[in-house]
Amino acid sequence: MRKPFVAGNWKMNTDGHGAVKLAEEVVAGCGETAGHKVDVAVCPPFVYLQQVGKALHSSHIALGAQDVYFEQKGAFTGEISAAMLKDTGCTYVICGHSERRHVIGETDELINKKVKAALAGGLLPILCVGELLEQRKANKTTDVVTRQMKEGLAGFSAEKVEAVTIAYEPVWAIGTGLTATPEQAQEVHALIRGLLTEMYGKKLSNEIRIQYGGSVKPDNAGELMGQEDIDGLLVGGASLKADDFAAIVKAAV
């Protein structure tokens, strides 16, 4: 049915040499698993995209970026367009990561424009959603995730949404070592699948992949992937260690 999809978000880590080395080790470690049984991508910092792309060449591991700007070109100092990402060999782009929402201050409206620009530029967006700890404690998880989904995908036809991956990343589980239990994650994944059904119908909602992210490690990846609506993993810290990332990829099959 839905092919598993594991992506590594390297965030603001590595240097040029380390990024290439990591990419080479990921290629060696994932071997034949990547591409055939599971889609795999790595998302290095912008400045290393080309070098990492070269290191991935002839592997089945795709290149992704961590962000994109919504304008096509012009006076937007420091920003990177979808066309530029495409030009460097990117297939995927992460939109609305919680660190961009909560550290940089991105809004649902801005994220919606980014997803739109990514699709228009021929990239496959990974739209991140997820609640803060205080929102979970206040029983606001459903409200927050519903709003992020509806506003993030506002104005998209079913045809467009087909190319989007959703990543549920509870903010309290990111980089904290505090993973959501498989049941907690499944509950929100089922909510997201239900929203997709409501918005686009059952056929499409059955096809869209929903990744889980937040302290994914080799020892919890299999159990998370065993949940009905968890179709992949968006991995932060553990994607910086090739052995761990390869073990996660293998656990996702």
Show which residues are catalytic: 97, 169
Binds ligand 13P (CB under 6 A): choice among 84, 236, 242, 245: 236
Q: Residue 125 interacts with ligand 13P (CB under 6 A)?
A: no
Q: Which is nearer to ligand 13P, 53 or 237 (CB)?
A: 237
Q: Residue 244 interacts with ligand 13P (CB under 6 A)?
A: no
Task: Give the start-end residues of each E strand in the chain.
Answer: 5-9, 39-43, 61-65, 92-95, 124-129, 165-168, 210-213, 232-235
- Do residues 144 and 135 touch, judged by C-beta distance below 8 A? yes
* Smallest gap from residue 98 Cβ to ligand 13P (A): 7
Query: DSSP class of residue 211?
Result: E
Q: Residue 165 interacts with ligand 13P (CB under 6 A)?
A: no
Long-range contacts (CB closer than 8 Å, 24 or more residues apart) made by 235-238: 235/6, 235/7, 235/8, 235/9, 236/9, 236/11, 236/174, 236/175, 237/175
Q: Which residue type, as a one-letter code, is found at position 109?
A: E
Q: Residue 112 interacts with ligand 13P (CB under 6 A)?
A: no
Q: What is the per-residue binding string for ligand 13P in 192-231, x denoting contact by CB under 6 A?
A: ---------------------xxxx---------------
Tell me the residue number closest to ligand 13P, measured at CB: 236
Task: Give the interface with ligand 13P as residue ranges (CB under 6 A).
Answer: 9, 97, 169, 174-175, 213-216, 234-238
